[in-house]
Structure 1
Amino acid sequence: MAKRKSSEPTEGAKAGGEAKADAILSKISGEFLECTICLEPFKDPKVLPCLHTFCEGCLKKFIAQDKVKNKFSCPTCRTETVLPKGGVASFKNNFFVQSLSDTVQTHKSLVSKEDDKVQCDVCEEDGASQGCFVCEEFLCDECACAHRRAKRTRGHEVIGVAELKEQLITKTGSLKSKSLPICTKHEDEKLKFYCETCKHPICRDCTVLQHKNHTYGYLADAVVDAKAKIKNKLKAARQKITKYGGKECAVAKKQAELDTRSKKASEDIDAAAEEKIRRYSDLVRRKQTELKEKLASITADRSKQLSATADSVKSTVGSLSSTVDFSQKVVEHGSDFDVMNVYSDITGRLESLLNGPLPNIPDDISYVLFDPKQGKEQKRAIIGNIVDRKMPKAELEEEEESREEATFRFTVENFSKVTEACSPATFIRNLPWKIEAVPKEDPDSQPPNNKSLGVYLNCDVKSCSLWSCCATVELRLIPQKIGVKTVRKKFEHVFYSDERNWGFQEFMPWHEVCDPQKGYIKDDKIILEAYVKADAPCGEKELASDVDEDILEEEKKEEESQANASFRFTVDNVSKLSEVQLSPATFIRNLPWKIEAVSEEDPNSQPPNNKTLAVFLKCDVNSDNLWSCRASVELRLIPQKKGIKTVQKEFEHVFYSDEDNWGFQDFMPWHEVCDPKKGYIKDDKIILEAFVKAEAHRGLKKLIIGKFFSKEIPEKEVEEEDESRADATIRFTVENFSKMENDQHSPVEFIRNLPWKIKAVPDHCSDSQLANKKSLAVYLQCDGNTNSFWSCRVSVKFRLIPQKGIKTHTMETEHVFYKNGGNWGFPKFIPWDDVCDPQKGYIKDDKIILEAHVKADAPHIFD
């Protein structure tokens, strides 16, 4: 064997080697080699499934403090960890950390030793003068001679102390060991195989004993593929760390925005409060405190959410970083055994962390400001409101003393002669409820089976206001004989102003009720009972004259009902459908919506194509008040045969007091609806469906829970500007203009919550100097049909839009519109001949285009 040439390294070579080794060594921090529980170098290090390492003894003490015996949270990342059957000792030994720690200590020891003070590793008595390059041992002269004479080591290369020291420093500085550990079960056998079945290294004896039928191979072969897979996972993990870093910055940014906006909103509240305090000192102070508390609550809630997100991001980044750090060091500096020993743990942990979703940070979480325009100055001072897109829906406040459920009885006397009976009122949710008993006869049946007892629940609210209340009800007929069962029937219903009673027309056959043997009648009396559980009522209600206004303002809360819903309507006896059929009411935004179906005939068409199915949506608000509600609607005809498409038609419309239904007069040809092959009719029934998405309604009074049937309190102060727009442009295309004889109206456009229309009229004037004494008159009309007196100052600019390259014809006016004021505009807006002359450019295809830009002040309303 050729001898290695021995030579003393130069000082520069020494310094270079040590510098390189120190650079690699600096990658390993002291914290990586220290237990985070005891803050000391690891003793019997154990690695958890989350890849955090602790001393075995420290883990035992830590787990002993936990009340749950089979589970505990990692002291570093708080990941829940299941304790193995053998306890802490059954966790994997972290050979990598232990060997790395030994290597680091050896490196530091070598670097600190001077060349002439290195001790012999064999006799441990004399100073070393030489060293074996193969055995990596320092030798004195005597031991070096013995080393060369021994049969096992006579071929080893012996070099100088300085050179061997340099080699060892460089080797330990790389922090990578190629030595394999000894199997704990088989002495002197190294763990140089890897069992794919069990996912851990094994020795040769293990392959024929414990792992005989398992899939295994050489550790050196398995480590190549394992390293590649770990590196792929590490790439993805680093990318996710970058993304989490972005989320961390986003959370901080949103928190800063929230703090800034909150501070600005707080300052705005203070400024608005100071302005109002001169007039409304006490109430404004209370409202100021309420708003500040509300703002603080919103800010605290948002901050809590952001803090939780920040903690989650920080925890995940920490877990990812520590996992990446550990995995990177294993791949770069661990032996083949080290890699394969923790391979399954690393990949499992990385997979778990990579699959975790990035936290969602709502864009509007930092949106909060104070808007003084949100409040209304009536008899109670309100300085404004907090605008918060994430504001939770407030529940409708109910009177503390009002019960939400009750059971009450009604004894019907002289039952055999009764024509209609009604119980005294029982108040639930401050609403008067009654039991109704009515005999019902069926003209198509023969006695005694032609008569039934009808039992209903009646919500006896005699009010012109719109109201609704959802109730769960059980109606009962109480037996008056021992051993007879109570007759019970249940239902759930939304009671409202146009549908105040609900129940069962055929609750029980009349002859069975009247039969004494059945046990329900005694002394010509029966006992009815009702259990009622009612939700808080919604809608309008008259104010009590004796209620303190300040208390009302302090206690009033805005109630927001569902904004959208789908509901179905089965139309029976379709072939005989001649009159309008209405579905039961479904409440959306506290308004009752119904599907309206009817057959329509076209006088200009021939059978069978002269008839269509008309479908409309109706907002069934029976109220004297002016109201409006913008809704997006999809009407559907549902097929009753597989493979047939649903017929769908959409529209958007502003429903209001004078226009409470809208839809399609020719939704579908009648002969197609009635054709069974088309798949829409079955057993002479069709199924209609409506999806309604409604905005908050306007004009209807807010609900005040209190006493009923008392005089309404008029509002003496003018309402401030609300959320409705102050100006808009209305465009109206007038068709068949040359043949126009009567007034033509544009569709309604809502401005300041009032319905505005353009009115076009042919104006004949005998005093006119025009050739045909005819002009086009154009007006603005406010279609506000309401019992309240109102007024609204408006600036309006009328335009006749050219359809050819000429100037727009424009005229402006200003006017105070009011309840009985009708319309306002220009009776001689433009000569009729000028409009009808194609050369002028205003008419095309016998159509003209009118436009009105309307700018309105806040309306004044007086009750």
Structure 2
Amino acid sequence: MEGLKPKEETKDDSLLSKISGDFLECTICLEPFKDPKVLPCLHTFCEDCLKKFVAQDKVKNKFLCPTCRTETVLPKGGVASLNNNFFVQSLSDTVQAHKSLVSKEDDKVPCDNCEEEGASHGCVVCEEFLCDDCACAHRRGKRTRSHEVIGAAEFKEQMITKTETLKSKSLPICPKHDDEKMKFYCETCKHPICRDCTVLQHKNHKYGYLVDAVVDVRAKIKDKLKVARQKMTKYQDKASAVAKKQAELDTSRKKAADDINAAAEEEIKYLTSLVKRRQTELKEKLAAITADRSKQLSATADSVESTLGCLSSTVDFSQKVVEHGSDFDVMNVYSDVTERLESLLKGPVPHIPGDISHVLFDPKTRQKEKVVVLGNIVDEETQDDEMETEEESRAEATFRFTVDNFNKLDEEKISPARFIRNLPWKILIQPEHNANKKSLSVYLQCDADSNSLWSCSASAELRLIPQKNGVQTYTRKFEHIFYSKENDWGFAEFMPWQVVCDPQKGYIKDNKIILEAYVRADAPCGEKETIVGNSDDEDLLKGETEEEEQLQTEATFRFKVENVSKLNEEKFSPAVVIRNLPWKIVAKPEHNANNKSLAFYLQCDADSKRLWSCRASAELRLIPQKNGVQTYTRKFEHIFYSKENDWGFAEFMPWHEVCDPQKGYIKNNTIVLEAYVRADAPRGMKEIILGNIFVEEILKKKMEEEEELQTEATIRFTVENFSKVKESKFSPAVFICNLPWKILAKPEHNANNKSLGFYLQCDADSKSLWSCSASAELRLIPQKNGVQTYTRNLRHLFHSDEGNWGFSEFMPWHEVCDPQRGYIKDGKIILEAHVKSGAPYITA
């Protein structure tokens, strides 16, 4: 017996290795199955566990499998009516029997019949252990006398071998009919049944012996398993491919991250050098200011010390003469003492400027998307009109526009420009008359005065700000692609006029309304170039160090205006190049009502057909030509750009004061104007770019970042009231290769025929010469089943003088309008154009 133990242990290990304990445990309670129920997805759970799980679900007639989330519809009887998993139950019983057999010693196995005595025999047919008495009775019984009865040890060995196959030849008992084994199979219900079931519930069904049906079923299942294993192999290959791609993605991510870090480090080094350079400039400026101030204070100190010494000696001598001198001594020095004292007393007391020690560092707080700005050295009182804190390269901004005398508004009003993404944005309002209605129209305008191709995708929220407590801000939102031909967008009927003008509504106060725009813009797309000045100006060529001069960040230049009394038009100074832009002084007489003034402006005379801007601060000065007269100065800060390239003071100084010789600013009918200008680096259609992350998939979304750079796209255009169309109809623009493409549809009359004219238009409003090669498929989309799309193809070189191309006789008009043809429905037709474009060429 002992010699069998290793063999039995080996068998036990072999059997248990074939079936995991998890397979025989409920995943809800983590215990061995009790009354296992199998779901259509083949996951099995205890009946009670399923009842508790289903009770938690709000939907009573169905639930999701706890394992795979597959939806299962509950039968009428609920969980109890779900199919029993006889296989799992049988397998569980087999495994338990196997464990029991292996664990028991041969002489301690009880009799399965009387359950009192130890077993000494076993019936092979009944698969039962028998004691001596039960074995004798078994051999005498009429039904069992023919059964094979063997010794207990041999029977145990056979049963261990049998259970190891994990198959049980015994049939389960029918859950509806006691003591009846399910040895029939109902073909109608696809379910095993017992003999009583064939007579009762399945009386008229097609059924047969389960043992006969199982052969064919096993073969079918094996065929399905073969296909399933092949699919498993494919999925395993896919899993390996996914793992491989994941590894490649991780490698790509790491490399991209390393590249980003490298690019960022390079940019950091560059920006660090800029910061250090600025630091050096600030320290040098600080040293120069303090050295000059120290020199002034030192000179004042020497003067004070010298005068104090003279006063001290004179007072001391005079005091001694008065107190200790004789009458003769006093009278003898009287004249000299009084003259000396009077001379010292007449001398002015040195003036020490109160702000001579006022030198501080203004850090200029950094904000989102600002360029490197450390700050500035302030050596005088802070100006009221400080430079705007946000940079023109920011991606978003909010700005307001106050409209005075609103009820008298009869034309459009435009706000000052606010720079976002280096483009000037404005609020535009006007009264709009539609039939008997009058409304307030509010638009957002991208006021880019450029002769080149450009576009910018933006989203905006236009707001009417309340001026009464408890009233909510009125807002309307939109998204739009701004470009040269469509540079404003908004609402023609933003709000009824009478509502705006009603003080009870709370939007108007003292006849003023306040509008606000929040704008978020993508990086603009268009041509890029380095901004240079006007090369035709000969004054730009003057100077020995012109190349260095053009890159200077600040400069002071003067302009003599002769024959001032006869001045009646603008006078321009020669250009001085700062930051590679030409700057000039503009002077002219300005007439306002009964007043005449000297107008003094600074002009950035950049002759560029591209978008550009430059932030600058300036001090405009009228230089005195008479001793004792101080320089007259006025300061400002401004963003110069193509549409607003000059700025200054229309009433710099009254004309009569300029022309009055007593004031000291005019001499020989000539005045001297001076401008100190400090400019930031000019900006064009450029932004700081470290790089970009590229993926192979095309991301479809409404406002795709850099959508304008796509090389192909499909445009769809629905034309309503088609039969009544008498003029050209245009679709909204879709940007391909940064050019705006549209569908153009119109009726074409040729002799006695009328046709649908269908064209593709490249709507690029540019003063530059350009060309673009494109191919397209123009389509008329059917709206009736079984009708094919009608298509015609074209290939054309579009250019500035020929911006559209297509078919004047795309389809006869009567065929388009015939509902039987299937192209028109509810008076509408649908046109479509798939366009593939090459990169545009700018030739001039």
Q: TM-score normalised by the shorter chain: which range applies?
A: 0.3 to 0.5
Q: State TM-score, norm by structure 2.
A: 0.44
TM-score by length of 1: 0.43
